[in-house]
Amino acid sequence: MSNNSDLIEHLDLAGDFIRLRLGDRPIPKLAVVLGSGLGPVADQVTDPVVIPYTDVPYFPESTVTGHAGRLVIGALDGTPVVCLQGRFHLYEGYAAHQVVFPLRALGRMGVQAFVLTNAAGGINTGFSPGDLMVITDHLNLSGTNPMIGSHDDALGPRFPDMGQAYDPEFQAVTHALAAELGIKLQQGVYTVLSGPSYETPAEVRMLRGLGGDAVGMSTVPEVIACRQMGLRVLGISLISNLAAGLSQTPLSHKEVIETAARVQQDFVRLIEHLVPRLGATLG
């Protein structure tokens, strides 16, 4: 990124490309970022336009190991939605401003709200693997921020307020819906480290001492970028495992994916019904 006027131009060229692919379909007001093992939500999208990230101009280029991902744009339960199946992570070597590029492009296109999902380790000893947690707040311990660098008012304020980063109305709607569907929901503070190594038990004790309930490697840069633009955010973590030191088994990505697969049905059901409810709150 040589300067920020280039960034705005690149965001809008990416947006123009996506709009062109949509043809005369509506631009959704709501987007859902699908975390590890949660991609199958996109299979429920009806009549989708599928756009691989590699097709979109100025989207970050995927790393060798990274599974690039795609936009799946259509409707869930009749409500227009963009699903981002796959995301860019700091641990893949992307700068924070690259991680958030797709969200900024969609925000400038007219998306008003993001549901950000992830798999996370449970720090709160009341949590069990397979629980879903509504994120109430976060601790940014990633060491970076997507707004670092030159500033352009076109993206929002230089020093955005993060006092209510996670939309209180969205949280309330989610809790009410989960109760109706009989899906248990936890809530808590999401902490982020860069990864990709999992935490040490000492780090997990530190995070608990700081007020963390779950730990992961994503989502926070995206929340910051969304809030700068004034976009509304809901965060949901799937507690895929107990964080380091809380169980006898070593942590593995396999466990994360297996737990996600086990609770996928509830997760898909929740998101499917949530999209129209959240959509109804948007202007």
**Which residues are catalytic, by number?**
36, 67, 89, 91-92, 119, 217-218, 241, 253
- 240 lies in the binding site for ligand HPA (CB under 6 A): yes
Least Å distance between CB 241 and ligand HPA?
5
Residue 174 · residue 185 · CB < 8 Å: yes
Give the residue, chosen from 34, 100, 103, 120, that forms a contact with ligand HPA under the rule CB under 6 A: 120
- 134 lies in the binding site for ligand HPA (CB under 6 A): no
What number of chain residues touch ligand HPA (CB under 6 A)?
13
Among residues 122, 67, 140, the alpha carbon closest in space to that of 239 is found at 122
250 to 269: interface string for ligand HPA, x by CB under 6 A = -x----x-------------
Residue 247 · residue 128 · CB < 8 Å: no
Closer to ligand HPA by CB, 167 or 203: give it.
203
Least Å distance between CB 203 and ligand HPA?
9
d(CA 280, CA 277): 5
Sequence-distant (≥ 6) Cβ neighbours of residue 237 within 8 angstroms? 117, 118, 119, 120, 132, 133, 135, 190, 214, 216
DSSP string, 55-102: GSTTSPPPPSS----EEEEEEETTEEEEEEES---GGGT--HHHHTHH
- 217 lies in the binding site for ligand HPA (CB under 6 A): yes
Least Å distance between CB 4 and ligand HPA?
31
d(CA 186, CA 188): 7
Least Å distance between CB 257 and ligand HPA?
10
- Give the range of 1-9, 55-63, 116-124, 125-133 binding ligand HPA by CB under 6 A: 116-124
Sequence-distant (≥ 6) Cβ neighbours of residue 153 within 8 angstroms? none
Closer to ligand HPA by CB, 4 or 247: give it.
247
- 216 lies in the binding site for ligand HPA (CB under 6 A): yes
Residues within the interface to ligand HPA (CB under 6 A): 119-121, 198-199, 215-217, 240-241, 243, 251, 256
